[in-house]
Structures are given as structure tokens and as C-alpha cells.
Structure 1
Amino acid sequence: MTIQVDISMNELQQLDKQHFLHPSSSIKQQQEHGPAFIFTEGNGIYLKDISGKKVIDGLSSLWNVNIGHGRKEMGQAAFDQMSKLAYSSCFATFSHEPAILLAAKLAELTPGDLNATFFTSGGSESNDTAIKLVRHYWILKNQPQKKKIISRTKSYHGLTIGATSATGIKVFRDFTQSLAPDFYYADHFSPESLRELIEVEGPDTIAAFISEPVQGTGGVLIAPDGYFQEIRKICDEYHILFISDEVITGFGRTGKYFGIEHYGVIPDMMTVAKGITSGYAPLGGVILSQKIHHEFIELSTETLFHGYTYSGHPVSCAVALKNIEILEREKLVENARVMGEELLKGFQWLQKEHEIVGEVRGLGLMAAIELVQDKATHTRFAKPLAPTIATELMKRGLNCRAVVLEGADTLVFAPPFIITPKVVNRMIEILHDTLSIVESSSHSG
């Protein structure tokens, strides 16, 4: 028997304000206005809220619904696994079929010799795990002084304490008065900055360098040509492990299975989450190179004292396997590449048509529009315009993210891989209309 709950939108809003503390949200705004949207349905590339309003999910919700919403076969995969084995621990070498098969599939998909996966529940856990594993690795190698982690300015690696400490965007670190120790930040576009930092701190104290192939939360920041090739060279020169944070860029977002593949280098570890299940179930992982994996095997004599209750959760792993099957069957990674090119062409047209559109950029279906007051001088608005435009876009049926961190004034987009030319064109139309209205308003004001 199904119990139907009849509750009004107003009642839900009040319950939300009283009982739901939202992640990465303004508590004051929530208390004053309630939830901005209460979504009730997802279908393909669209979301529908409780009032019946339908919007294009131009950010794949949180960079993660890669195959689109409402895939019944994903629900069936979860149901089938729940009916068979809903949960089983992977501690103490216990195992089960979905985790084994998924780990083997990841070894097949990942570049180079990346071949063994430690499963987590999400991206922050994955980056925390990678940090702990590299430090443990150097302990096993009798170099316990190699414990410092270097990341990049404008980087984002998650919100657990280790991942926050590794995040280069300062406002996230300012949230707490006590960060984890031994984290440092090199300039996000400068290999030489990394080299200088290593020399100052001492190579024999550095455990790893961690980087997103494309900095997502920072505003879809794409490294200059040759950057990652030089980074790989520096890490090898100083015997430092290289971690590629593929939490956003993994599983096709950039038009290749993994973002680092665009640069022809192989990391020592890769962290994944989000797109591994397209958001249909929580799951993440750290994928180790064969070399690192074998050294763990050879040097470890005691228990690996790290793990999560849901490491290798059977249902999540089954959902991930079905997600990858859909990506392959429908050639969605290739579609992300092709549609990403179309989206960037549309942004370049907007750049010509609108005086407030500065730099536009993209890689696959990660794309951004910079907003400027003066194109010639790249002068920003005194008050960032992106939040206002994002709100107006939502009113007209397009969800995106406004990035105003670290002085940015940027609209970012990452739609599901099932996007079609027709929907790309509709996104550009909505953007064009909204930008025109904002420009007209600023002139009249």
C-alpha cells in the first residue's frame, strides 16, 4: 500500500526553514525566503519544481547528472541489486560482485596504468582518502617527513577537513578556524610557482601535488598549453606524487572519459565521484597506478586503517556499472565533446552580440561566460552581475551557476550529455534574451 502525503508548498517551505540546514547555502536567505526551489521531478535534461515550472538543468544539478534525469533502467539496476544484496561490508577483505566488477571496469577505462580502486561515498571523501593514502605511502617508503600537500590557488577539492585544507579558494578555508596542517598552494597557472614552492619547502617534505584538470568551482578555468606536461615533469623530478582530481571532470564531462587525458599525462592517483553514477547513487573512489598499488602490496605488513561504512556499497556500484553501460551504449562522451563545441560557438556569438560578455571558454560540456563592464580593459562590475543574471535565467527556464569567488564574475554551465542541438540553441536564446534585458536595464538606469 502506498501512503500519499498531501502537503502544500507553503507547509514544505516552513518545514524546510525549521528543520533543514542546507549545504553551501545562505542560512539567512533560507530563513527569510525559504528554499529557492523545491524540485519534484527530473526528466531528461529538464527539472520541474513544485509549482510546475520546468527548467533546463544547465549545470547537471551539481555537475553530476551526466546521463540526464529519470532513467528507469538506473532505478531497475538499483532495485535488482537491493533485492539480491542491498549491503555488505568490504572491511576485513569481505567482497561482493558489483564492487569487483566496477573496480575491473575502472581499470579498463582509466588511462595508463591506473588499475586499483579504493571506494568512497563521494568526492570530498575521495580527496581526503587520496591525501591519507599518499602520506601512508611515504611512511611505508621510510620517508615519513614527506607529508606536505600542494594544490593550486582557485582550486576546489571538497568540504571535509582534509579536502577543505587542500582547497585553494580561501573562503572555504575561512569557514573553520582550525585547518589540517601541511597544505600549500601554488599559483594555479604557473608550473614555475610549483617548482619555487617545492624548493622553498624542501622536496623531501612534499608528499603530493593535487589538481583538477579543469578548475570547476573556480569558474571553469582551463590551464594553459603545456601546463600539465610541465607539472608531471616537476613531480617526477622531485619524487612527488601527482593526484588528478576528476570528481567533476571524470566520466566524460570534458569530452574524454577523464579530463587529464586532454594533456597526455598519467597521474599516480585519480579521484572520482559525481559522474561515476550520474548522481543516481552516492559513490566515489581513488584509483591508484599499478606501481603505487604494487608498492602498497609489497610494503604493507599491517591493516590499512582507513575506510568508510559505504566503501564499495553494492547498490551504488551496481548503479555505476549501469551508468557506464549507458555512457558507452549511447556514445554520450562523444556527444559531450560535439555538443560542447556547439555550446562554445553559441557563447562566442553572445560575446560578439553583448557588450557585457567578456571571455568565454569551454572544454566539452564545461563552459563559462565572464561578465565585464568594459571589454577593452577587462574591467569588472563593482558589484558582481552573475548572481542577478543567474536568477533571471532561472525565471526564463535555464539553471546555471554564478561564480563570484576570488574576484570572479562568471556564469558556468555543465548540462547533461544527452543535450541536443535544439536544446543548445534554446540555451543560447534564453541567454541572449536575458543579457539583452540586463544591458537595457543598466543603460536606462
Structure 2
Amino acid sequence: MKRQIKDNMPEFIGLREAMELSREQNRENHRKFINPELVNLMGLLNFDKCFVKAQGASLWDKDNDEYLDFLGGYGALNLGHNHPEINAAVEAVKEFPNLLQAALNPLAGALARNLALFTPGELQYSFFSNSGAEAVEGALKLARASTGRTKFISCEGSFHGKSFGALSVTGREKYRKPFAPLLPGVDFIPYGDAKALEQALSQKDVAAFIVEPIQGEGGIIVPPEGYLKKVRDICTTYNTLLIVDEIQTGFGRTGKLFACEEDGIVPDILCLSKSFGGGVMSLAAYTTTEKIWKKAYGSIEKATLHTSTFGGNSRAVAAGIATLEILFRDDLSRQAAEKGEYLMGKLQELQKKYPFLKEVRGRGLMIGLEFAQPEKGLLNRLTGGTVEKLASEYLGAMVAGELLNKHRIVTAYTLNNPNVIRLEPPLIVSYEQLDTLLAALEEICSKNRGFGDMVLASGKTILSSFVKKS
């Protein structure tokens, strides 16, 4: 077989060959065929290593060096990498038809039934899809179809996805502006401000308010105590549906099975994804009440208004069934609460010792670390404000880079607040692994007083690289 399929193009790469590509070969494929500027960005901090094995909270590179994963797939790895029971569940259904639209999938029906047992209140009907953004898209459509209204309210600093509808309710202009105009009728209010919500709903023309119980990409922002309870009451008063986006916070991450349970509230629509597929399969859902579902899709004519080819496929829902079983059996919500309390306490001790660590916040094993910005000194004036600008965009990335390159710990900054790095390890992380992270952070904080020190500690010409790109 001739392996060069197109003229002037490289040869076809088989699976075994792909698994054995060198780091530079991998970079070149991404540079030529995926996203060259992302290759440049990742390369600045050595975020382009080739990992070849993963288990639990650990990763191994080609040199068999072990790394700890405190990023956890942005919350998608609550059960850790390659959980054997999730892999076994997927293997168990290998002879089932994975996709068959001319039938009702018994596995999908079982998962929806189980989910109704786990979710709060009268949430009952679920629609399965493949990603968190798709869950949000479906929730927005459901809200319009069931209320007859068209407007949405979201929060500044929020993140709900990058597909068109989800992006329309995402609260950072950087991601929205290049794709304008987006969906009309979307307004943004400050997160945590119940009075602003009441004012926004006062005309009784809003289909839904969409909100995260904790803003993940906003910088791990925890709202004021009782905020969600006030939100629930206000939405009820003005007949506005409450969509709670638990794509990142759900399935035990914050110490409760769902973060909205902290305030004892029940949303009208709940969006779920990330760790739903056990870190092995891509699985998402929105779930709602019988009343809302039937208003939107309660007739034969409306039954197929919203569908998904791959949503609810056998392998994905098998992983979902196993995930719920493991979460309940191993009481991972409790583990997240206890380990999170331990980690938060130790981090707050570091914060008191080192001014470089400006703030520690979060709940359970969803924690954000914000680092102190540089004072506007001589270096900043000499560079025309460049140092201040670069620090605001890249300080978190530099801390994450030092954790990766010097301590073999994987983290990342939050998308809407790049001065904050997130800690979202698998809920199965050990206390020994938590202590390893704490020791690394203490070393970083003790040696660095700010942005300038981080640049010097990086061991690369990062500052000059960023200046060229700014």
C-alpha cells in the first residue's frame, strides 16, 4: 500500500507509529495541522511534553519520570486517570450496538433513571450529549421552548463553553468579541449580586438565568454565603428558569455530590459533563423536571426537536453508570470535603508566611491560588507598562511552569483569570501527594517575591518571548 496519499504531503501515520512519535515530531504535527500558535504558547513553558502512561493521579513521560496531575482535566478526572472499573465497563459493552437510532438504548434509559436518583429535588428527565458546551446549548434551547421567552441573564466572569450559544452566555469579552454578533437578548450582571439579578428579571421577560455555583474559569470564585438560595427565590418570583452549570463542580468535586446542594437549592435545569464519563468517555447531560420537559417537548411533533447522533451512545453511558456507582460506593464527595479541608488549611498557612501567595479560595478539591501582582516600580516604567501587562496575563502560567518543570506537578491557570492557578486533582488523590504539592509550593513561594523573580527562575528567555508577542 502506498502510504503517501496526497502529493506534497507527508506519509500516513498508523496508530503504533503515532504512539511512538518523538516530542519534536509531535510538535511538528500540531504546528502544521492543528494550531501553530498554540504550539508556540505551550512550548514557552515546556507544556508540550509527551506523556505515555496515566493511572490515578499520576502521569509518566517517555523517560518514565512520574508527574502528579493537579489539573485533573479541568475537573474531568474526579476518578483519576484510567480507572480500571470504568475501562472494564466500556469493555463490557463492546458487543452492544454503540450507535443505533432506530431503537431505545437500554443503557441510556438506565443511566437516566440512576441520574434522577442522584440529582436533587424533582429533576427527572435527562438529555445526553458529548460535552459541557452541548449540555449548555440544550439547556438554553429548553428554556426558550418551555417559557416562550427569549432573553437570558448570565454573569460577568462566567464560562459556559465556546460553541455559539454557550459562548453567548460566557462572560469574558476576549472569547466573545471575535465571533460577534452572538445570540441577541443576553445581558450580564456581577457574579454574587442578588440585587442585580432581581433588577434584571423585573420585567418578567427572561427565559433563564444561568450560573455556576463556583466560577471555575473566572478564577475559582466562591459567591457570598446564601447567594444561590437568594437566586432560587428571585427566579421563582419572576417565573424565570434557573440553569445551574455544574459541568466543573459536579460529581463530588466541591465536597457535595452537586455544589448547589451546599445552599440546599434545586435548579430547574442542571448541566453536567466533564467527570460524568469517568475520565474515559466523553459524556454530558442536562436534566430537568417533568413539567419543564413536557412544556418544551411534550408531543410527538416536538419529540425530535433536539437530538444528538452520538449522545447517549452505549460506551459513554456504560462509563456513566459505572461512574455514579463508584462515586456513591466510595463516598468520594466526603473524601473531597476532607482532603479539601486539609489542603486549604495548609495553603492558608503558606499564605500567611509568603506575601507572594495573595489569596487561597475554593471549596473541596476545587481551589484557586492567586499570586501578588508586581508593584508599579522602575522596571515597569522603563518598559512602558509592559511588565505590569505581562504579569497580569502570565504570572499564573509561570508558577504553573515552575511546578511542572522543577517539581513535576501539572497545574494550569484559569481561562478568565490567568493570574490564578487551579488545583483540581482527582478526588482519589492521596494525602502524601497533597503534601508533595504543598512542599513544592512552599519552595516556590519562599524563593519568589513576584513577577521578576519568576522570570529569572524560569530558566528560559520567557520575558523576551512574551514581549515579542505582546
Fold in common (TM above 0.5): yes
In structure 1, how many angstroms separate the alpha carbons of the residues matched to 2:217 and 2:227? Answer: 19
Summarize the Cα distance change of 1:31–1:225 in structure 2 as closer, same or farther, 3 Å threshold: closer
Note the C-alpha offset of 1:209: 0.3
In structure 1, how many angstroms separate the alpha carbons of the residues matched to 2:351 and 2:303? Answer: 56
SS at match of 2:442: helix
Match of 1:133 in 2: 142
Match of 1:339 in 2: 339
Summarize the Cα distance change of 1:44–1:120 in structure 2 as closer, same or farther, 3 Å threshold: same
| % same residue | 28
Match of 1:21 in 2: 35
Match of 2:292 in 1: 292
Deviates more, 1:278-287 or 1:66-75: 66-75
2:297 and 2:303 in contact (8 A); partners too:
no
Note the C-alpha offset of 1:369: 1.3
Match of 2:248 in 1: 248
Q: TM-score, normalised by structure 2?
A: 0.84
SS at match of 2:179: coil
Query: Given the alignment, which residue of 394, 399, 404 partners 2:410?
Result: 399
Query: Given the alignment, which residue of 106, 118, 129 partners 2:115?
Result: 106
In structure 2, how many angstroms separate the alpha carbons of the residues matched to 1:77 and 1:135? Answer: 36
Match of 1:167 in 2: 170
In structure 1, how many angstroms separate the alpha carbons of the residues matched to 2:138 and 2:276? Answer: 17
In structure 2, how many angstroms separate the alpha carbons of the residues matched to 1:193 and 1:214? Answer: 18
Note the C-alpha offset of 1:186: 1.1
1:215 and 1:221 in contact (8 A); partners too:
yes
SS at match of 1:82: coil
Note the C-alpha offset of 1:374: 8.1
Deviates more, 1:38-47 or 1:114-123: 38-47
In structure 1, how many angstroms separate the alpha carbons of the residues matched to 2:346 and 2:108? Answer: 41
Match of 1:157 in 2: 160
1:120 and 1:308 in contact (8 A); partners too:
yes
Note the C-alpha offset of 1:137: 0.8
In structure 2, how many angstroms separate the alpha carbons of the residues matched to 1:238 and 1:109? Answer: 28
AA in 2 matched with 1:259:
A
Match of 2:55 in 1: 43
SS at match of 1:114: coil
Structure 2 residue 128 is the aligned partner of structure 1 residue 116: no
Q: Identify unmatched segments of 5+ residues in structure 1.
A: 139-143, 376-380
AA in 2 matched with 1:425:
D
In structure 2, how many angstroms separate the alpha carbons of the residues matched to 1:7 and 1:87? Answer: 32
Note the C-alpha offset of 1:32: 8.2
Cα deviations by residue, 1:98-139 (Å, 9 ceiling, x for unpaired): 10110000000000111110111110000001001111112x
In structure 1, how many angstroms separate the alpha carbons of the residues matched to 2:332 and 2:137? Answer: 30
SS at match of 2:304: coil
Structure 2 residue 423 is the aligned partner of structure 1 residue 417: no
Cα deviations by residue, 1:156-175 (Å, 9 ceiling, x for unpaired): 00010000000012211123
Match of 2:23 in 1: 9
Note the C-alpha offset of 1:295: 3.7
2:211 and 2:245 in contact (8 A); partners too:
yes
In structure 1, how many angstroms separate the alpha carbons of the residues matched to 2:455 and 2:182? Answer: 47
Aligned residues: 424
AA in 2 matched with 1:254:
T
SS at match of 2:250: coil
Summarize the Cα distance change of 1:83–1:34 in structure 2 as closer, same or farther, 3 Å threshold: farther
In structure 1, how many angstroms separate the alpha carbons of the residues matched to 2:74 and 2:15? Answer: 30
Note the C-alpha offset of 1:34: 8.9
2:27 and 2:48 in contact (8 A); partners too:
no
1:13 and 1:35 in contact (8 A); partners too:
no
AA in 2 matched with 1:238:
Y
1:17 and 1:35 in contact (8 A); partners too:
no
Match of 1:78 in 2: 90
List aligned pairs for 1:40-439, cutoff 5 A: 40-89=52-101, 94-138=103-147, 144=148, 146-199=149-202, 202-203=203-204, 205-296=205-296, 301-373=301-373, 382=388, 383-384=391-392, 385-395=395-405, 396-403=407-414, 405=416, 409-439=419-449
Q: How big is the alpha-carbon RMSD for the aligned residues of Structure 1 and Structure 2?
A: 2.5
2:146 and 2:293 in contact (8 A); partners too:
no
Deviates more, 1:426-435 or 1:30-39: 30-39
AA in 2 matched with 1:180:
L
SS at match of 1:62: helix
Summarize the Cα distance change of 1:85–1:301 in structure 2 as closer, same or farther, 3 Å threshold: closer
Summarize the Cα distance change of 1:410–1:444 in structure 2 as closer, same or farther, 3 Å threshold: closer
Q: Identify unmatched segments of 5+ residues in structure 2.
A: 1-13, 376-386, 457-470
Note the C-alpha offset of 1:437: 2.3
Q: TM-score, normalised by structure 1?
A: 0.89
Note the C-alpha offset of 1:405: 3.2
Summarize the Cα distance change of 1:313–1:444 in structure 2 as closer, same or farther, 3 Å threshold: closer
